Amino acid sequence: MRMTPEEEVLEKAGKARRAAQVLAGLSADVKNGALQAMADGLEKNVQRILGENARDLEEFGKTSPTSSLVDRLLLNRERVLEMAQGIREVAGLRDPVGEVVEGWVTAQGLRVERVRVPLGVIGLIYEARPNVTADAASLCIKSGNAILLRGGSEAVRSNTAIASLLRDSSKHLIPEDSIQIVETTDRRAVAAMLGARGQIDLIIPRGGAGLIQFVVENARVPVIETGIGNCHVYVDKDANLQWAGDIVYNAKVQRPSVCNAAEKLLVHSGVARAFLPGIVKRLREAGVEIRSCPKTREIVPDAREATEDDWYREYLDLIIGVKVVDSVEEAIEHINKYGSKHSEAIVTDNYENAERFLRDVDAAAVYVNASTRLTDGYQYGMGAEIGISTQKLHARGPMALRELTTTKFIVRGQGHIRR
């Protein structure tokens, strides 16, 4: 008898839960061995993955042949080998489990330690790119967690093939049920995951604003919001304009489809005439559309007018909103009102303005004289990341292995009681 989507989710979450209890007690050596075996498994089965991916692409091409989405869905030999290499890099990272975060002896002689332990079962709800399957699974296994994956329906064959290879190639070392993938494409499976309190310890949504909004609105399982980025670069009156130009160009153009790309440029009125014509020219040459405030149009008359809605938007495209402001305070106020609290940058050589921006802008990452594109686990030297959190609880900014753990208090006494 066929299972309902709810039954499939609960059964797989239950299997993951039991696997997690075993995983929590495994040594780093065993987990690293499993990760190396997973990498081997992918490398030996490139053709099988590409075959399933071709079927996904064929199916997808019938309905929504947008080229950028096809590019995200497409796998080739190189991309599969990169996935395997990524898993080996995770194996090389330090195991966060067992770390004694802090410890002390109380006045009464009680020995208190706060020790890092896995969260348990992580639910990942994601879209498009099949490499996320391997990336997320390897980070979860390394941190001692089981994972329940729910990818987009357009990639279901690729994702299922990858998850199946990861399971098979590591089952001699870790429980086979450590990696679970929801195979139904019925959207009720997502709702079932979001309601699985006690079965799933954390849900991470990775995808567009619509997916993340849906998850946040409907989840009763704890969620970490990731990756909505309406990021700003503010060019102060005391900016090094060479740096400013390079940073704005990099933040907007280097990879416009990602969350840490800049969506807005704020320029101090004192340097607007000196700075705007040159950067607008450079951006337009790269195909960027300018949407602007009235003061910007005094300098760039042919720019399109930005609506109120524009200031809130994450374009993920070659579009930038440009606004002239009269002070660092006005820039900060604008960012705190319209921004998504992801990554925000000031370009300045003014000490006071730099410090004020760093202190008063409320965001996961704030920059002086650097591009917002640098918000990334690898760029920060933290190793792989499972997402960039834009919420304040538990994790903020690039999330790596440590953010997939919690702590417990371990307390040792000699007959201690409370008086």
Which residues are near a copy of itself by CB under 8 A? 21, 24-25, 104, 106-108, 110, 112, 114, 119-120, 197, 201-202, 216-217, 220, 222, 224, 240, 242-243, 246-247, 250-251, 254-255, 336, 358-360, 362-371, 373-376, 379-381, 391-394, 396-398, 406-418
CB of 316 to a copy of itself, least distance (A): 16
- Closer to a copy of itself at the Cβ: 3 or 358? 358
CB of 297 to a copy of itself, least distance (A): 28
Q: Indicate the angle between helix axes 77-92 and 131-142, nearest 10 degrees.
A: 10
Alpha-carbon gap, residue 237 to 143, rounded angstroms:
46
Give the CB-side neighbour count of residue 135, counting CA atoms within 13 A: 20
- Closer to a copy of itself at the Cβ: 88 or 396? 396
CB of 330 to a copy of itself, least distance (A): 15
- Closer to a copy of itself at the Cβ: 145 or 158? 145
CB of 294 to a copy of itself, least distance (A): 28
CB of 358 to a copy of itself, least distance (A): 5
If you search the block for the tokens 């070659």, which residue do you land on? 318
Helical segments of 93-237, H only? 131-142, 156-170, 188-194, 209-218
CB of 231 to a copy of itself, least distance (A): 13
- Closer to a copy of itself at the Cβ: 153 or 379? 379
CB of 46 to a copy of itself, least distance (A): 28
- Closer to a copy of itself at the Cβ: 77 or 412? 412
- Are 193 and 9 in contact by the 8 Å Cβ rule? The answer is yes
Residues 6+ apart with CB under 8 A from 399: 204, 224, 226, 377, 385, 386, 387, 388, 389
CB of 41 to a copy of itself, least distance (A): 30
If you search the block for the tokens 């679970």, which residue do you land on? 180
The dihedrals phi and psi of 184, each to the nearest 5 degrees, come to -70, 145
- Closer to a copy of itself at the Cβ: 55 or 402? 402
CB of 191 to a copy of itself, least distance (A): 15
- Closer to a copy of itself at the Cβ: 10 or 247? 247
Q: Give, in order, the Cα–Cα distances in Å from 31 to each of 54, 170, 282.
A: 31, 9, 49
- Closer to a copy of itself at the Cβ: 44 or 220? 220
Structure tokens at 74: 């497409």
Closest by Cα among 257, 65, 80 to 154: 65
- Closer to a copy of itself at the Cβ: 77 or 359? 359
Alpha-carbon gap, residue 52 to 371, rounded angstroms:
38
Taking residue 354's Cβ as centre, other Cβ atoms within 10 Å add up to: 20
Q: What pairing do the DSSP bridges indicate for beta strands 111-118 and 100-105? A: antiparallel
Helix or strand run (H / E) with residue 105: strand 100-105
345: helix, strand or coil: strand
- Are 404 and 395 in contact by the 8 Å Cβ rule? The answer is no
